Amino acid sequence: MTVTRFQDFPLADRDREWDGDSAEQRVRKWAGAEDEPNAAYRDAHVWYDGEKPENFTSYKLLFADVIGGELKAVPRAVMAAGNVMQGGRGGVDLPPGDIDRVKNHLARYYQKMGETAPWDR
């Protein structure tokens, strides 16, 4: 199992709406990953199943969208992923050994937004 490398994407406007399904389609197209995932597609997520990288369903915690032709971290997506990591929306099924690394990844975006991650409050 694998936590993606922190990319330090620029932040989208804080009030930008988050529609994960639409963002996922834009990211696929932008990354040229319409047939199968690739590295650019992977970078828009916090975690993926490294044993099945060829499956779109292996990728979890999408936090970025394509805005103006550029991949940006969307604050509301970061917060949604943070909520999931706190058990909201049913949580996400990740290996226990990856949870702290996922939280650290998200915490870096919270810090970039000038906030403290919910698990550190």
Domain borders along the chain are: 2-120
Question: 90 pLDDT band (50/70/90 cuts)?
Answer: low
The pTM assigned to this predicted structure is: 0.93
pLDDT at 88: 56
pLDDT at 89: 57
Portion of the chain with pLDDT greater than 70, in percent: 98
pLDDT at 39: 96
pLDDT at 121: 87
The 8 Å CB, 24+ separation contacts for 12-19 are 12/65, 12/67, 12/72, 12/73, 12/74, 12/75, 13/75, 14/75, 14/76, 14/113, 16/65, 16/67, 16/74, 16/75, 16/76, 17/76, 18/65, 18/74, 18/76, 18/77, 18/80
Half-sphere exposure of residue 22: CA atoms within 13 angstroms, side-chain side:
7
Q: State the sign of the Cα–Cα–Cα–Cα dihedral 111, 17, 5, 70.
A: negative
Per-residue pLDDT tens over the stretch 50-71: 999 999 999 999 999 999 999 9
Average pLDDT along the chain: 94
